[in-house]
Amino acid sequence: MLDIYVCEDEQKQREVVADIIQYNIKKENLNMEIVQCTDNPRTILQHAKQAENRGCYFIDIALQDEMNGLLLAQKIRAIDPRCFIIFITSHSEMCTLTYEYKTEAMEFILKGTEPSVYKAKIREALNNIHIGEIERCN
């Protein structure tokens, strides 16, 4: 089982991301579960510290919090070094900062793109993780 976390400060956007993830988990019968969906990065960190499963984190970079998504990802990576980090943001210029923070992000999905492309990018990320997990277990 892979635990999925969503940290997004905009409620509507958070719900959209969670719905897309949930739809794809059911449609593709993925061994994944959304365990936390919040606007609070400290809640994500607390859950990550207590998690028994590997994690997949969908993180907004520009959180309306003293801790931005890059710092959150950096802290998550220290807790769960083999996790998957996927940034969802409207700030394409921040892509290069993911290297500075050493987040080893798997994907960088831009908000505001065509809805079908946005959904496809999330689906593709989930499927790539699923395939990687199957190969790792074999």
H-assigned helices in 8-114 = 11-28, 41-50, 69-79, 97-100
Confidence band, pLDDT 50/70/90 cuts, at residue 101? low
Please give the angle made by the CA atoms of 65, 11 and 126, to the nearest 5 degrees: 95
For 5-25, how does the pLDDT look when each residue is reduced to its tens digit (9 = 90+)? 999 999 999 999 999 999 999
For 28-60, how does the pLDDT look when each residue is reduced to its tens digit (9 = 90+)? 999 999 999 999 999 999 999 999 999 999 999
- Would you state the pLDDT for residue 107? 86
% of the chain exceeding 90 in pLDDT: 70
Average pLDDT, the chain: 88
CB 98 within 8 A of CB 105: yes
- Would you state the pLDDT for residue 65? 87
- CATH value of 2-137 in 3.90.226.10, 3.40.50.970, 3.40.630.10, 3.40.50.2300: 3.40.50.2300
CB 87 within 8 A of CB 25: no
Task: Give the C-alpha separation, 27 to 23, whole Å.
Answer: 6
Both tokens of residue 10?
A: 């905009």
Q: Which residues pair with 4 in a beta bridge?
A: 34, 56
